[in-house]
Amino acid sequence: MLNLVLFGPPGSGKGTQSAKLVEKYGLTHLSTGDIFRANIKGETDLGKLAKSYIDKGELVPDEVTINMLEAEVEKAGETKGFIFDGFPRTVPQAEALDKFLNGRNETISLMLELEVADDEVVKRLILRAKDSGRADDADESIIRNRLKVYHEQTAVAAQFYKESNKHRGVNGIGTIDEVFQRLWTEIDA
Ligand code: ADP
C-alpha cells in the first residue's frame, strides 16, 4: 500500500493536491477537516463537539480525532492506500497512527509537507472564505490562531517522520500543476 501524509499549514493546498493524488494513484482520501464538516452539517454529536473547537481555530481533542480517523480507515475496506490530509496534527496523533497502522501490518510511506509562508496562507484563506463559506476562514484573527496552533502543536509532528527519513518538504508556491509535479516526483523517486 502507498500511505501518504499530506502535511502543511491551513491553506497550503492539501485538499487541492489530495484530489490530484487520488486520481493519479487510486488512493482513499481521508481529510479530518472534511469529516468534521460533514458531521457539523449532519448535526451529529461529533459535529457539535467539533464545531465548538473549529469555530475558535483550535484543535479537536486528540482522543476524539484519533477514534474517528481509525473508524474511517476500517470503514474504507480494500484500497491501494490512503492519503491522510489534516492528520496527524499533533505528536500523540502521529504516535497513534503509527501504532494503528502497525497493527494492520501497514506503515506510512511518506509525509509530504507543503511549504507556504504565513502571510501567503492568510491571503489564500481570506480569498477562499468568499466561496467556501467556512467561518474559520472568514476572520483573520481565527486564521492567525490556526497558524499559531500549527506552529506550536502541529509542526512538531513532522519530527516523527523526519527521524525515520520519511519526511519530504515540497515548495507549495506555484501553479497547482507545478506543485503537483513536485509531489509526484517525490513519491515516484
Ligand atoms: P485547514 O487545514 O485549512 O485548517 P482542515 O479542514 O484540515 O483545515 O481543518 C479544519 C479544522 O478542523 C481545524 O482548524 C481543526 O479545528 C479541526 N481539525 C482538523 N483535523 C484535525 C486533527 N487532526 N486534530 C484536531 N483537530 C483537527
pLDDT, averaged per 10 consecutive residues of the chain (189 residues), comes to 97 96 98 96 97 96 98 95 98 97 97 97 93 89 95 95 97 98 97
Indicate the class that CATH gives domain 2-183: alpha beta
Select from 2, 36, 30, 10 the least CA-distant residue to 114: 10
CA of 33 to the centre of ligand 1 (A): 5
What is the predicted pLDDT for the residue at 39? 96
The predicted pLDDT at position 33 comes to 96
Active-site residue, from 37, 51, 124, 146? 146
Q: Can you tell me which atom of ligand 1 is nearest the CA of 87?
A: 23
Of the CA atoms within 13 Å of residue 55, those in its CB half-sphere come to 7
pLDDT at 118: 95
Is the shortest distance between the CB of 51 and ligand 1 below 6 Å?
A: no
Domain chopping of the chain, boundaries: 2-183
What is residue 50's predicted lDDT score, i.e. its pLDDT? 97
Pseudo-torsion of CA 5, 11, 16, 19, nearest 10°?
A: 30
**Rounded distance from Cα 142 to ligand 1 centre (Å):** 12
**From the CA of 86, how far away is ligand 1's center (Å)?**
6
Q: CA nearest 134: which of 48, 21, 10?
A: 10
For the record, the C-alpha cell of 59 comes out as 484543535
pLDDT in the model for residue 133:
86
Is the shortest distance between the CB of 146 and ligand 1 below 6 Å? yes
